[in-house]
Chain A
Amino acid sequence: MRFLFIYRKCLTVFVLLTITILTPCSTLLLAQNGALKVIGTVKDAKGVPITGASVKVKSQTKGVLTDSKGEFKLTVQNERAVIEISHVGFEMQTKEISKDRVFNITLIATATDMEDVIVVGYVTQKRKDFSTSIANVSTKNATEGGYSNFQQLIGGRAAGVMVSETSSEPGGGINIEVRGAGSLSFSTQPLYVIDGIPFEPPNLNLTSNTNVGAVVGNNVANPLSTINPTDIESMEILKDAAATAVYGSRGANGVILITTKKGKVGKTRVNIGFNQAYVTPQRFEKMLNAKDYAVFADEAWKYRQYVGTYTSATLVPFAESEIDSLKTYDHQKELLRVAQSTDANVSISGGSPMSKYYLSGQYFYQPGIIPNTSLNRYSCKFNYEATLSPKLIMTANISVNNTERNGNATSTLIGKAKSWAPNSPFINPDGTFNHLSTYLYGYGNGYYNDSIYGSIYYNPRFPISTILASNGTTNSNNPLIYTSSRGVKNINSSTQILANVSLSYSISNALKLTGTMALTQFNSILQTYIPISIVPTFGTQKGDASVGNSQNRSALYQLNLSYRKSIRLHSISLAAVASAEKYTSETQSVGSSGFTSDITSFYSIQSGAVPGVPKATYSAFQLVSSVLQGVYSYNGKYILNASGRFDGTSKFSGNNKYGFFPSAGLAWKIDKEKWFKIDKSIISELKLRTSFGIVGNQGISPYSTMSTLSSTYMVYGNSTANIGYYPTVLANPALKWERTQSFNGGVDASILRDKIFITIDAYSRLTKDLLVNVTPPLTSGFTSYTANLATMRNEGVEFSIEAKVIDGKKFRVTVGGNIAFNRNLVEKLTGAAGEYYNPSEGAIGTGGYITRIEPGKPVGQFYGYNAIGIWNDSTIKTKATTFMPSAKEGDRRYADLNKDNLLSDADRTYIGSALPKYFGGFNLSVSYLSFDLSSFFSYSVGSQIFNTYQISYGTMSGSSNIRKDIFDKRYRVIYPDTDPKLIDAIRANNQTTKVSVAGSTLEAREATDYYIESGTFLRCRDVTIGYKLPNKLLKKAGISSMKAYINLQNLFMVTNYTGLNPEVSSRGGLVRGVDDGSAPLSRGLRVGFNANF
């Protein structure tokens, strides 16, 4: 293994370097002869003695460390000697010996210990000195225990950062997009950097090996759900390229910096947090009750007879007399439940100047609102920093998480519950699963051909024994099969270890060398089992087990040489970094079916009679980088940021492996200028910023530039498989990075004695060489290849404000808000004239596309037919025979845009946009004495949603249940025997399509504006009411502070959208705003406390 060899070599070098670094340190500790003895104490500004501060004679290597009282003794050669007193986190001081022999020294803390500094890239910067657009996400609530999940923490807090919670499932997905879509075919997700280490969320989709995949919606946990939010000290979102260019080839979609908590010098602090949450679904949809449903079914039956498709013998309608006695089952309520989750965490932190630590542990249990879905997380974290010598500091950050996610995909189950006939229960009277999802003969995949009736359904006419007889042998869509303990099992357990250790040596006061090694291991196992009682859709083997493993490893080696110096008005920070990274991903899976007993399930794959084909995959990529980053500040007035990064990646070939990503940013603090005459009480701070940078995106799969072959099987003469190899990839050797260049200009201002803080940013991002998954002509034999073709621009303005409206001692009110406008434009696809691209993921029905990408238009545009109502009794008569030739009265009518009397592709047009006009969030906090209330709202205005939900639950197919409002407006066909008195009233109400022959589905043209709805919404994301217990009371219990709180999540939502959640998942960068079944968000009530000792 070549890499292993290099790896060892690298490690050797690393160790050698460390030893080299250590050598001077050890010599430093050796005592030396001298003439004069001086003594002294070193304290901080508060008078607390500093242990381990280094005291040495200038330009010599010898020195001593202060003891636990902060005292030192040192021998110097003569009175001309100058001693230097330094300690990490403090500004170094120098003292001339002259006559003094006793020194009382007070060290001033350096900026690095102050809260408003942050490591961006490889250089520590003050927040106030940023010349780039960086948004801070408040983690206060998380610290106090308000959130249990990373998803909740980040939602909608920063201007220009669009966060969509795509699922309410425990551990479910999240989509974050910074300043609009940055990529077309590839990920638009930002890069996460945890404590300086890039975190690549592993792809876990490969691990299922079930023979009957169609039955189980395999669900693996979102890797970010493994992070314990209470461990997060601060979170920054780097938005512009000047800030992200230092992350080079991975920075194009923005960077989210997560800094975890570190120990602080001082007494040991213990923090305990505990909360309980009660979660319910935020919305239900109103479906038909059994009575309406029976009417619906009978109308379908009547229509069927009318058009002559069925004879009376093949179907039994509901009799009028029995309709009233039908029992209604509210399947949504039956399926969903109130879930009670528990979050307990403890952290201990503290330290001496010599060693600081932070240790935390969390237990988090979150059951889903659907039974048998849950997330169970144990996590622990240990951050440690030790000063080995005045010049040598070691840090270690280690976190280990264990997450078990249980359950199947929620959205499809809710969908099944909704479409399940309301007169048909989930559970039969004998306790078995019912399989009849519709009343109809031949439906629900399960039916019973009774010799007399031909069909059985839950209807008073049929005895229960007959119904049960129909239930034995069929596969089912019954959602309880996936949610009950005797149902389908789907468990994803993962263990994640993030560890990084670094050793930092101060070569001189200004120069520091840091070596870092970071290892990440993400092991995941996906276990699924379909019990014998459920007959799978494909194959005849009952009982199906699968186990899939994945191992994702990453290793990073990094050397950072940093220089930091202030000379009078000039201060400079520089870092030169070299790093190498390797990411490896492997999966293995096995499966079998044909079980005779459910007892062992996936724990005993060998018990299945028919083994599946075992599978294994391997993929790896490497990245080598060198970075130069610097910040120069003159008199705190002018700040210049610059960085350059060279990346080399294994994913591309030839010269395309290497890329250079530069950036520069300039900030001007106008308020520091002498001529700036405005009273400080009006404007206390005013900063102008501008920046430019180039970043890349390399989010393609490894080996994309190679023509690879995959194996397949062919069976000839007997039942043995013969292997076949075929080309799988239409390889494009010319692939290279996507390059985004971005300009940013901004203003930060602090007004009215810091009561109001305003940030305004404007940006323009131009992404070239966009990697696009191009659908080649199918005559190539391939359905996709990757090429750098497109150009896209994002431009926008962001505005955020934070105001302390009332800032009294007892009573405080703070309001804040942000708003972002982004305009997206696809400037070029391949460059061919008149071209456009239909992302196939958007297919509606079959063969129809719902989105189109075309130069000159933004992404996320819906494209389809204009629906113009219904063919009614009069329009159908005047219709051209060639136009929709099979249309009947009550069918949907489409506009013939080109007036050629044919409904063809040429009649399609742009019918809506999934992009919001603006979006953001706002918050309101009030505190009075010990009480405080904080609330947070997010909103999005002007986007549209293609509601495929509505297709599923609004199609009058006369078999599965549908939405009440659609039913009420349905087109009722006027039959010859219709009461003439009612005809006018019926026609007036006829708005949606007619109840049609059961099972008839959409025509491919249902990519129509009929299903497009406004996606504008205002959501109250959370409200927290807290109470700080009085200190006097707590002191007696030995508690230094304690807070109790009630937190309400997703309390309400204001929207006209008829689906469950207007924050629909975007299916990647191309197909946006298509709601194909997102689950309702959960509404939660959380009660808890947080105590410090």
Chain B
Amino acid sequence: MLNNRTYIICLAFILGFSSCKKFLQESPNGLITNTNFYQTDDDAITAVNAVYSAMRPDMALGLPGIYLTEMISDDGTMSPTATQVGERLELENMIYSSQHGIIKTVWTNAYVAINRANTVLKYVFDSSKIRPAIVRRVRGEACFLRAFNYFRLVQLYGDVPLVLTPSEIGVSNLSPSRAPVKTVYDNIISDLEYAEQNLSDYYNYNDAKNGGRATAAAAKALLGKVYLTMAGYPLNDISKYQLAADKLNELIVNKSSYNLDLNTSYSKIFSAVTATKAADNERIFYSRGTSGMAPDYQAFTRMKSTYLQFKYAVPSKDFLPYTTSSSVGQYFPISGGTELSSIEVDDAITSSIPIGFSFNFGGVLYDSFYMSSNGFISFKNRSAAAPNISSATDPIVGPLMDNLNGTGGTASYLLSGTAPNRVLTIEWADWRWKTGSIVANNISFQVQLYEDGRIQFNYSSSTPAVNSAASAIGVRYPNSYLAFKNTNTTGGFNWVASNSGYSSTVNKFQYDNGDSTTQLTIAQNLRSVYEISDARRTYTTDFLGTVINKYSDAVNAGYNDNADDFIWLRFSDVLLMYAEALMEIGGTSNLDIALATINSIRKAHGGTAIQDLTYTTQDDLRQKIRLERRRELAFEGHRWYDLKRWNIIVETIKANLSFQYNRPQSYYDFLNDNVKVLPIPYAELANNPNLTQNPGY
């Protein structure tokens, strides 16, 4: 080498260069190198900014992390109308392998953020050039973000490599082996403890330089979550329940100093309006939606396109309040029923008539009904007759809502069967279906109320057809309705269920052979997560399917512009975790506080229509808290972690898939304890000989 240099120096002499060394020096004019950085306050702050921005790819891609936690769990499923990218279907059907792209992306992104945090922690330390307050704050943020990412990793993958120094060739070990879950948690706790002591209590939402940074409140909330998780599966360290309760209680007791509180309106938490977001005190740690900015700055959240446009995830069947079906069958008229002659006229309604059993309609039990001559029954007194229910807000079941006339017809009802399979049949026989001033043909139809909550509409023949196309068929719950439309314009029926309108083009109920009838069945979904009047039901159902509209950003047009923030930690979560911890610790006073806590959330977010909960045993309360947690935090990326913590993930997923695809549970027996952790990405195993794979992958 010396020789080479000698020659080069000779050459330099020939060319008259004063120094060849200088000529061969690199000048990366457009780049910063780590030797001239980390010198000033701004350097330190921009370095930690880049840790936050490492979380951006997760957001920009429509939250790969959400796919994992929602699609694998029983909350989200794939829309049949969405682009069925194989990978998402693999998550949905639990057939992913270690080569799964999203599983790798989540792993990669977490470690990119961790490496950036490690870089900050290595280079930003007490020095004369950076103010001590900035050093502490920046280090606190880096610690929080490192803990945040390790917490995700350790839950998703189990034992993971614990890398705590920035990656530098020749300095650090690039091929780490996996650290036990417990060790990872210990580091998360120490990082969060540093963060909670050194970070600000809160920042204003609109603070241009700080709104959305990690705060002491965020560190405490995450620490509480970490303790709660450690108390559950797989560590089962139940001593942590008390630590969790205490840590979370620090936020609850001092909520005003952390600028925290329950938002009294559930929907406002997910608003895209800046002022509304600024007024929300639920937010503890969130990523900001950045609509309207240049694309390079943008796209922290793409939740709207994920949930609404592409329907990558939609609610599973668990969330549907009812299921509908139509069929062709025979019409069996009532014989021996109780006749209600008071409505065998035009525009009349009966007084209260007993059902004979308690009928669950929209989550409310009714014992009596009112029958109208205009083709519906109501569960509330409608003695002031209303021929059309479109203005009503009452619970109504309408097999044929039109301007009907009972003159000459027979109205009757009949209770049959034995408990718990009793059926109440209500019949309008030979009823006049008139159009305008013309008195037209007679029609017979029935409503059947089954004790299990099912409702069935049956129609007899009507010949010939009436001229009217205006009629309404459907049911109305207190704040939701379901209508049926016949989309066939020529003979026959093609019923679709819809909540977009009542009017239908039905003008007769007759098949060509004259005997058959069309039947519509509306079954209550007994697994349904929400009580029908729960205001947290943030999804909509129409005949194209059900979509999640929790992040629907009504402010910005289009799907890719999303001003909704994605909220990682919020106050209701803190309250729910607090309730869970207390409930698990047990003792009447703890259980009572836990119950009061979830009732406070129900009241604030579910609306006044829903009732306060009560409990009988600790396990009863446990189930109620878990259900309440699912209701409150649905589609926010918590469910998978919750199911794992409660150690009910395998049976829940099996049951969900079996329900989803209508297959026996045994079909999914290939799912076992192995699914409690994801596979270590294949590429990672290939590149790091010190890693081992999780069992089963």
Contacts and interface: CB of A to CB of B under 8 A. Distances in A.
B293 interface: yes
B5 interface: yes
Contacts of B97: 847, 904-905, 1004-1005
A778 B28 contact: no
B90 interface: yes
B293 A621 contact: no
Given A648-B24, A717-B206, A730-B168, 16 more contacts: A2-B22, A3-B23, A613-B297, A658-B8, A703-B31, A712-B56, A723-B46, A726-B53, A778-B108, A778-B687, A847-B682, A881-B670, A1000-B89, A1003-B86, A1004-B97, A1005-B97
A655 interface: yes
Interface in B419-455: none
Interface string B259-281: 00000000000000010000000
B37 interface: yes
Interface stretch (B159-167, B314-322, B388-396, B570-578): B159-167
A884 B296 CA distance: 41
A780 B174 contact: yes
24 contacts: A9-B18, A539-B560, A613-B294, A624-B15, A624-B17, A646-B8, A646-B11, A706-B28, A712-B50, A714-B53, A715-B212, A715-B288, A718-B206, A725-B43, A726-B51, A730-B168, A778-B687, A779-B111, A780-B174, A787-B169, A836-B686, A885-B95, A886-B93, A1003-B86
A757 to B, nearest CB: 40
Contact of B26 (A10, A617, A702, A732): A702
B150 to A, nearest CB: 11
A309 B494 CA distance: 18
Interface in B93-109: 93, 95, 97-101, 104, 107-108
Contacts of B10: 626
B250 interface: no
B50 A725 contact: yes
Interface in A694-722: 702-703, 705-722
A47 interface: no
Contacts of B93: 886
Nearest to B2: A655
B695 interface: no
B520 to A, nearest CB: 14
B543 interface: yes
B295 A721 contact: no
A905 B98 contact: yes
Interface stretch (A671-679, A793-801, A838-846, A1082-1090): A838-846
Interface stretch (B76-84, B237-245, B609-617, B632-640): B76-84
A952 to B, nearest CB: 14
B112 to A, nearest CB: 5
A559 B17 contact: no
Nearest to A612: B294
Interface in B1-31: 1, 3-5, 7-8, 10-12, 14-18, 20, 22-31
A720 B74 CA distance: 38
Interface in A996-1036: 997, 999-1005
B79 to A, nearest CB: 9
Contacts of B300: 715
Contact of A712 (B53, B119, B160): B53
Given A308-B662, A314-B544, A717-B206, A1001 B32 contact: no
Nearest to A558: B15
A-B complex: 6 closest residue pairs judged by Cβ atoms: A781-B115, A717-B211, A724-B49, A724-B50, A847-B99, A846-B101
Interface string B668-697: 011000000000011110111101000001
Interface string A642-662: 000010111100010111100
A977 to B, nearest CB: 19
Interface in A902-919: 904-905
Contacts of B560: 538-540
Interface in A611-637: 611-613, 616-622, 624-626
- Residue of B53, B82, B561 with most partner-chain A CB within 10 A: B53
A212 B561 CA distance: 13
Nearest to B288: A715
Given A716-B212, A777-B174, A703 B49 contact: no
Contacts of A454: 543-544
A710 B175 contact: no
B245 to A, nearest CB: 32
A882 interface: yes
A777 B688 contact: yes
Contacts, number: 345
Given A313-B543, A559-B14, A719 B293 contact: yes
A890 to B, nearest CB: 16
B86 A1000 contact: yes
A997 B86 CA distance: 11
A733 interface: yes
Interface in B31-82: 31-35, 37, 43, 46-54, 56, 80-82
Nearest to A1001: B86
Interface string A419-459: 00000000000000000000001100000010010100000
A449 B544 contact: yes
Contacts of A658: 1, 4-5, 8
Interface of B: 1, 3-5, 7-8, 10-12, 14-18, 20, 22-35, 37, 43, 46-54, 56, 80-87, 89-90, 93, 95, 97-101, 104, 107-108, 111-116, 118-119, 160-161, 163, 166-170, 174-176, 203-213, 274, 288, 290, 292-298, 300, 487, 494, 496, 543-545, 556-558, 560-561, 661-662, 669-670, 681-684, 686-689, 691, 697
Contacts of B686: 836-838
Contacts of A6: 17-18, 22-23
Contacts of B4: 646, 648, 658-660
A709 to B, nearest CB: 4
Given A538-B560, A709-B37, A847 B104 contact: yes
A38 interface: no
Contacts of A2: 22-23, 25, 27
Given A777-B176, A778-B683, A648 B8 contact: yes
A715 B556 CA distance: 18
Contacts of A9: 16-18
Contacts of A620: 26-27, 29
A308 B297 CA distance: 42
Contacts of B107: 778
A549 to B, nearest CB: 15
Contacts of B1: 655, 658
Nearest to B686: A838
A610 B37 contact: no
B8 A626 contact: yes
Contacts of B5: 658
A201 interface: no
A442 B85 CA distance: 13
B296 A313 contact: no
A616 B84 CA distance: 39
Contact of A779 (B176, B209, B274): B176
A734 B170 contact: yes
A722 B115 contact: no
A643 to B, nearest CB: 14
Nearest to A732: B169
Contacts of A90: none
B84 A308 contact: no
Nearest to B697: A904
A2 B23 CA distance: 8
B688 A580 contact: no
Contact of B34 (A624, A727, A997, A1002): A727
A776 interface: yes
Contact of A539 (B54, B87, B118, B295): B295
A13 interface: yes
A708 B18 contact: no
A12 interface: yes
